[in-house]
C-alpha cells in the first residue's frame, strides 16, 4: 500500500452523466497537493485527485496537511488514484 502526504485543497462530488447508455460520475473526490522528489534532487509540487468512499471523513481538513493510504490503477491511457474503502485521513503534526 502506498501513502500520500500533502495539503488537502478541495473536496467535491463529480458530476453525473450518461454515455453509451452507461451512467458515470457521482463519486466523492478530494484534491491534494504535495511535493514530488525528482531524480536530480529537486522537488516539484503536484496535485492529485483521489476518489474516496466517504467525503465526510475530510470535513474540517481543507487547508491542512494530511496522510492517506492510496491505491492506483490504469484505465485506458489514464492513471486513477483512489483511497481504499474504509481508510480514513490522518492529520499530520
* pLDDT category of residue 79 using cuts at 50, 70 and 90: confident
Q: How far is CA 21 from CA 16, 17, 18, 24, 25, in A?
A: 13, 10, 6, 10, 13
Q: What is the pLDDT of residues 22-57, one digit of tens each?
A: 888 889 999 999 999 999 999 999 999 999 999 999
Statement: residue 65 has pLDDT above 90: yes
Statement: residue 59 has pLDDT above 90: yes
* Calculated CA dihedral for residues 26, 23, 87, 47, nearest 10 degrees: -60
pTM of the model: 0.85
Distance between CA atoms of residues 57 and 36, nearest Å = 25
Structural domains for the chain: 2-91 (2.40.50)
Amino acid at each position: 500500500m502506498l501513502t500520500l502526504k500533502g495539503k488537502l485543497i478541495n473536496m467535491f462530488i463529480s458530476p453525473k452523466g450518461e454515455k453509451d447508455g452507461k451512467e458515470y460520475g457521482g463519486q466523492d473526490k478530494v484534491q491534494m497537493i504535495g511535493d514530488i522528489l525528482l531524480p536530480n534532487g529537486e522537488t516539484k509540487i503536484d496535485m492529485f485527485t483521489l476518489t474516496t468512499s466517504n467525503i465526510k471523513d475530510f470535513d474540517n481538513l481543507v487547508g491542512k496537511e494530511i496522510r492517506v493510504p492510496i491505491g492506483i490503477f490504469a484505465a485506458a491511457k489514464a492513471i486513477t488514484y483512489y483511497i481504499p474503502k474504509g481508510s480514513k485521513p490522518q492529520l499530520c503534526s
